[in-house]
């Protein structure tokens, strides 16, 4: 039997300046529109403005999303942004520009960004889609660009497209599965099935004391509830919750004896009639960043919530894409 061509394509576009950027992205968008394909652009705000202006009247035919908001937590880009758009157009080939990594990404965010890029290949395998990921070669570290060659099967540089010799996305998924260190003095609570409400109240009480805006308290309660319930149901029946403040964020960390074997857990959008399977997805939707470390000794999931309002849409996801 002849091998079937993989319908999903996932090129990285290396660009050095705005001219490069537009040369690599505009024909991609316009080609999609000309072919009648649904097109979405999810890139950082400044790049979004650049593309919107360059597209002129065609901008109205493209779904435009500020990735700094929609994709602040890299863990929700696949379910909410990419599959959110692709699934809204069943049976049609879609084109998406997704730029999840920019100069301002922190050292804490970056491992989750790289894992996200690697997991796109699994999440979209066999699907009719092209996801083009621009990388700013002038501003990003060489290590980031090297990772992009591992997470993307195709590279576009100076207008030339070629297969990546380094493509091996699972190495990135496992390589960034890093132990997470916790600051001394973080508040700690051990829980089991009897103490699930205590775990929620414990996190909420500290969230209030640290000044988390009141309209995000439910996000913390829901995220902590899902993580601690997962420990009780799937992670050995008990676990430990730690809460602390770090770099302008409230951090809630849950450790248990379970092992997360599905790398796409929490990244598959839920179908409306689906029973269960929304816990980690919800944690990804509500948090500003989620980091995970899993291994034989157990699983740690850490979620971050911004303590201060940086912008008007600072809250997790708001409306469906």
Partner 1 sequence: MAVPHTEDVSVSGHPRRPLVSDECGPKDCVRVSGQVYLDTLPAWERLLGDLVDREGDILMDMSGITFVDVAGASSLARTAQCLPDGRRLVIRKPPASLTRVLELFWPELVAIEVVE
Nearer to partner 1, 221 or 303 (CB): 221
**Rounded to whole angstroms, how far apart are CA atoms 291 and 31?**
37
- Check binding of 317 to partner 1 (CB under 8 A): yes
- Check binding of 90 to partner 1 (CB under 8 A): no
User: Using the rule CB under 8 A, which residue among 146, 178, 233, 264 binds partner 1?
Assistant: 233
In three-state form (DSSP H/G/I as H, E/B as E, the rest C), the secondary structure along the chain is: CCCCCCCCECEEEEECCHHHHHHHHHHHHHHHHHCCCCEEEEECHHHHHHHHHHHHHHHHHCEEEEHHHHCCCHHHHHHHHHHHHHHCCCCCCEEEEECCCCCCCCCCCHHHHHHHHHHHHHHCCCCCEEEEEEEECCCCCHHHHHHHHHHCCEEEECCEEEECCCCCHHHHHHHCCCCCCCCCCCEEEEEEHHHHHHHHHHHHHHHHHHCCCHHHHHHHHHHHHHHHHHHHHHCCCEEEEEEEEECCEEEEEEEECCCCCCCCCCCCCCCCCCCCCCHHHHHHHHCCEEEEEEECCEEEEEEEEECCCCCCCCCCCCCCC
The least CB distance from residue 99 to partner 1, in Å, is 24
Q: Which residue has the tokens 């770099």?
A: 247
The least CB distance from residue 196 to partner 1, in Å, is 6
DSSP-derived pairing of the beta strands 238-246 and 94-98: unpaired
- Lay out the site mask for partner 1 across 171-190 (x = CB under 8 A, - = otherwise): ------------xxxxxxx-
- Check binding of 196 to partner 1 (CB under 8 A): yes
Q: Which stretch binds partner 1 (CB under 8 A): 55-63, 104-112, 155-163, 229-237?
A: 229-237
User: Using the rule CB under 8 A, which residue among 92, 209, 308, 309 binds partner 1?
Assistant: 209
Nearer to partner 1, 136 or 226 (CB): 226
User: Using the rule CB under 8 A, which residue among 278, 294, 313, 314 binds partner 1?
Assistant: 278
- Check binding of 3 to partner 1 (CB under 8 A): no
- Check binding of 36 to partner 1 (CB under 8 A): no
DSSP-derived pairing of the beta strands 298-306 and 289-295: antiparallel
- Check binding of 84 to partner 1 (CB under 8 A): no
- Check binding of 268 to partner 1 (CB under 8 A): no
Q: Which stretch binds partner 1 (CB under 8 A): 46-54, 61-69, 153-161, 278-286?
A: 278-286
- Check binding of 67 to partner 1 (CB under 8 A): no
User: Using the rule CB under 8 A, which residue among 49, 125, 193, 264 binds partner 1?
Assistant: 193
Nearer to partner 1, 143 or 270 (CB): 270
Residues paired with 191 in a beta bridge: 239
User: Using the rule CB under 8 A, which residue among 219, 253, 256, 288 binds partner 1?
Assistant: 219
**Rounded to whole angstroms, how far apart are CA atoms 170 and 212?**
36
Q: Which stretch binds partner 1 (CB under 8 A): 42-50, 111-119, 298-306, 312-320?
A: 312-320
Nearer to partner 1, 158 or 218 (CB): 218
Output the six-digit token pair for 51. 């593309």
**Rounded to whole angstroms, how far apart are CA atoms 41 and 63?**
6
Q: Which stretch binds partner 1 (CB under 8 A): 103-111, 120-128, 239-247, 290-298?
A: 239-247
The least CB distance from residue 233 to partner 1, in Å, is 7
DSSP-derived pairing of the beta strands 249-256 and 298-306: antiparallel
Q: Which residues bind partner 1 (CB under 8 A)?
A: 183-189, 193-198, 200-202, 206, 209-210, 218-219, 221-222, 225-226, 229, 232-233, 244-247, 270, 272-273, 275-276, 278-279, 282, 285-286, 317, 319-320
């Amino acid at each position: 039997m002849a091998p079937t061509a993989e319908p999903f394509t996932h090129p990285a576009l290396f660009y050095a300046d705005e001219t490069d950027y537009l040369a690599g992205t505009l024909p991609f968008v316009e080609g999609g529109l000309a072919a009648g394909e649904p097109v979405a652009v999810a890139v950082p705000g400044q790049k979004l403005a650049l593309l919107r202006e360059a597209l002129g009247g065609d901008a109205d035919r493209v779904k435009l999303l500020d990735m700094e908001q929609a994709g602040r937590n890299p863990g929700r880009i696949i379910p909410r942004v990419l599959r959110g758009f692709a699934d809204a157009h069943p049976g049609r080939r879609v084109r998406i520009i997704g730029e999840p990594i920019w100069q301002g990404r922190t050292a804490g965010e970056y491992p989750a960004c790289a894992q996200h890029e690697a997991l796109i290949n699994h999440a979209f395998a066999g699907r009719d889609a092209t996801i083009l990921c621009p990388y700013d070669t002038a501003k990003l570290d060489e290590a980031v660009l090297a990772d992009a060659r591992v997470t993307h099967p195709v590279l576009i540089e100076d207008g030339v497209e070629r297969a990546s010799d380094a493509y091996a996305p699972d190495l990135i998924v496992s390589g960034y599965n890093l132990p997470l260190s916790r600051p001394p003095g973080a508040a700690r609570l051990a829980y089991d099935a009897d103490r699930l409400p205590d775990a929620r109240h414990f996190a909420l009480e500290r969230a209030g004391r640290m000044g988390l805006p009141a309209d995000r308290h439910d996000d913390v309660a829901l995220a902590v509830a899902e993580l601690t319930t997962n420990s009780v149901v799937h992670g050995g029946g008990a676990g430990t919750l730690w809460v602390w403040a770090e770099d302008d964020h409230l951090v809630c960390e849950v450790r248990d004896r379970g092992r997360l074997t599905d790398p796409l857990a929490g990244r598959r959008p839920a179908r409306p009639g689906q029973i269960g399977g929304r816990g980690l997805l919800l944690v990804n939707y509500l948090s500003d960043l989620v980091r995970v470390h899993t291994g034989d000794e157990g699983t740690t999931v850490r979620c971050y919530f911004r303590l201060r309002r940086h912008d008007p849409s600072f809250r997790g996801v708001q409306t469906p894409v």
